[in-house]
């Protein structure tokens, strides 16, 4: 059974490919997340993930469609992708030397039904220097990333500590994906596909909020 990934994110493509299952990529019509005042981060991530999946599932109703959305939350406020240099610099300044939450919601649709799950990880950004922030922003790195950073960035190395699922922070919790696909009858590996998954507490439990939509 072929799977459709409703995402334009190269990071999500790389993570899903680690499972070794066939899939094709169909980006949704609107793939940009925008934080809205008053909407809880988890609710926002779920809403956006479901919207992406439903848009693509309407074009591919016979195959499972998987999509996700990531929201960074600092003190209860959702941070989306920065829209310009000034916002990117401001985000990184706010996040540095602080803990924050990263919520990634995953939606899976097939034959007119959808399931939804999300995971939360805690991340601490190291005390970034002003010159590091400006150089990172000038390279254009933050603009396709919630919160303006990537945990896996080998040059900036913004994260010095995290709790929970690493893949969740990158943008797609493989533990949740595996659980959801297994319930759909898709053959997926039971052993951790990456070194991150080997040490992941969520992978060990394969748990998370999931409900029919």
With a cut of 60, say whether residue 211 has pLDDT above it: no
- Indicate the SS3 state at residue 104: strand
Q: What is the mean pLDDT of residues 143-156?
A: 94
With a cut of 60, say whether residue 207 has pLDDT above it: no
Look at the block and give the residue holding tokens 């039971």: 190
With a cut of 70, say whether residue 35 has pLDDT above it: no
Model pLDDT, residue 212: 42
CB atoms within 10 A of CB 183: 11
With a cut of 60, say whether residue 88 has pLDDT above it: yes
- Kindly state the tokens that stand for 90: 């401001």
Domain ranges of the chain: 3-212
Model pLDDT, residue 187: 85
CB atoms within 10 A of CB 196: 19
d(CA 100, CA 121): 8
- Among the residue ranges 8-22, 32-46, 125-139, the one predicted with the least confidence is 32-46
Which active-site residues does the annotation give? 69
Mean pLDDT score across all residues of the chain: 91
* 155, 140 contact by CB (below 8 A): no
Would you place residue 209 in the very low, low, confident or very high pLDDT band (cuts 50, 70, 90)? very low
188 or 180, which is more confident?
180
CA angle 72, 73, 78 (to 5 degrees): 90
Q: What is the mean pLDDT of residues 149-158?
A: 96
208 or 147, which is more confident?
147
Model pLDDT, residue 156: 96
Residues 6+ apart with CB under 8 A from 139: none
With a cut of 70, say whether residue 85 has pLDDT above it: yes
pTM, whole model, 2 decimals?
0.90
Q: What are phi and psi of 211, to 5 degrees?
A: -155, 155
Residue 90: burial class (beta carbons within 10 Å; 0-12, 13-18, 19+):
middle
Domain 3-212, what fold?
Maf protein (3.90.950)
* 7, 24 contact by CB (below 8 A): no
d(CA 177, CA 184): 11
Would you place residue 213 in the very low, low, confident or very high pLDDT band (cuts 50, 70, 90)? very low
Residues 6+ apart with CB under 8 A from 159: 123, 124, 125, 126, 149, 151, 169
């Amino acid at each position: 059974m072929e799977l459709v990934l409703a995402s334009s994110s190269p990071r999500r493509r790389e993570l899903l490919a680690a499972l070794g299952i066939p899939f094709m990529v169909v980006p949704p019509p609107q793939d940009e997340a925008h934080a809205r005042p008053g909407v809880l981060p988890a609710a926002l991530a779920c809403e956006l993930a479901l919207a992406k999946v439903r848009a693509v599932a309407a074009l591919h109703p016979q195959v499972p469609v998987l999509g996700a959305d990531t929201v960074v939350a600092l003190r209860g406020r959702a941070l989306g992708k920065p829209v310009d240099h000034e916002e990117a610099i401001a985000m990184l300044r706010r996040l540095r030397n602080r803990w924050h939450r990263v919520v990634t919601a995953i939606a899976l649709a097939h034959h007119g039904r959808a399931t939804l799950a999300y995971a939360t990880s805690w991340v601490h950004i190291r005390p970034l220097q002003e010159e590091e922030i400006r150089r990172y922003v000038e390279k254009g790195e933050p603009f396709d990333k919630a919160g303006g950073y990537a945990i896996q960035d080998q040059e900036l190395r913004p994260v010095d500590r995290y709790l929970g699922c690493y893949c969740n922070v990158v943008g797609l919790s493989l533990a949740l994906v595996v659980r959801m696909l297994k319930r759909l009858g898709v053959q997926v590996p039971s052993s951790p596909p990456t070194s991150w998954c080997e040490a992941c507490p969520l992978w060990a439990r394969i748990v998370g909020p999931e409900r029919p939509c």
